[in-house]
Amino acid sequence: MTRRVGILISGGGSNMLSLVRSMTGDHPARPVFVASNDPGAGGLEKARGLGIQAVAVDHRPFGKDRAAFEAALSEAIAPYEADILCLAGFMRVLTAGFVEPWAGRMLNIHPSLLPKYRGLDTHARAIAAGDTEAGCTVHEVTPALDDGPILGQARVPVLPGDTPGTLAARVLEQEHLLYPAVLRRYAAGDRTPVFLPAPV
């Protein structure tokens, strides 16, 4: 049975694009919507350009009321009846009230080798720590931030002279390979983690 995939974004949506483009042919899933908390997110138009339904629920009018924002987001995406929800550069913290109904059905990509560097500024923190490698992780989403079972990782070297920007670009290339590889496996019911070889 083909799995229906929804994707949540906050920005340019390059990971969203890599996921959407991967879901063709014998892939066990198809994209059914892209949604953003930011009506200005560049990824929304890109999704529409690929024929994907794209909706925005602006978080700002809700202020600190996360539950109310999440209720509005849930209502907006409900009609698409997604089986799997992929967070792809979605920059709002989600409460347990939103996460729990999606337990075992929601994935996130995070730009660090979890459990290192949960939260923000991952690349700057890796450089400041003197790490020689960095990378990205796809994991199942649980109510704890950037936690949950790891479904895949890709590693890159940290090179002399790297800035957070140069390191982010190197990691992002791997994100675009890792997330589709994990989703394909996950949508087929296989939760064995994917570990990509370091690029040469």
Q: Is 89 in the site for ligand GAR (CB under 6 A)?
A: yes
To ligand GAR, the closest distance from the beta carbon of 64 in angstroms equals: 19
Q: Is 113 in the site for ligand GAR (CB under 6 A)?
A: no
110 belongs to the catalytic site: yes
Q: Is 12 in the site for ligand GAR (CB under 6 A)?
A: yes
Q: Is 172 in the site for ligand GAR (CB under 6 A)?
A: yes
Q: What is the CA radius of gyration of the chain?
A: 16
Token code pair at residue 67: 């539950």
To ligand GAR, the closest distance from the beta carbon of 173 in angstroms equals: 10
Quick one: 72 or 168, whose CB is closer to ligand GAR?
168
Q: Is 6 in the site for ligand GAR (CB under 6 A)?
A: no
Q: Is 112 in the site for ligand GAR (CB under 6 A)?
A: no
Residue pair 140/148 in contact by the 8 Å Cβ criterion:
yes
Q: How far is CA 70 from the centre of its chain?
A: 17
* Helices 42-49 and 14-22, packing angle to 10 deg: 20
Q: Using the rule CB under 6 A, which residue among 3, 5, 6, 13 binds ligand GAR?
A: 13
Dihedral angle computed from the Cα positions of residues 147, 150, 154 and 157, in that order, rounded to the nearest 10 degrees: 50
**How far is 15 from 173, CA to CA, in rounded Å?**
9
Residue list 128-167, contact with ligand GAR (CB under 6 A)? 136
To ligand GAR, the closest distance from the beta carbon of 172 in angstroms equals: 5
To ligand GAR, the closest distance from the beta carbon of 12 in angstroms equals: 4
With CB under 6 A, what is the number of residues at the site for ligand GAR? Answer: 14
Token code pair at residue 59: 């978080």
Q: Using the rule CB under 6 A, which residue among 3, 46, 59, 110 binds ligand GAR?
A: 110
- The distance in angstroms from the start CA to the end CA of the chain is 37
Residue list 24-53, contact with ligand GAR (CB under 6 A)? none
DSSP structure string for 34-95: EEES-TT-HHHHHHHHTT--EEE--SGGGTT-HHHHHHHHHHHHGGG--SEEEESS--SPPP
Q: Interface residues with ligand GAR (CB under 6 A)?
A: 9, 11-15, 88-89, 109-111, 136, 172, 175
Cite the active site residues.
110
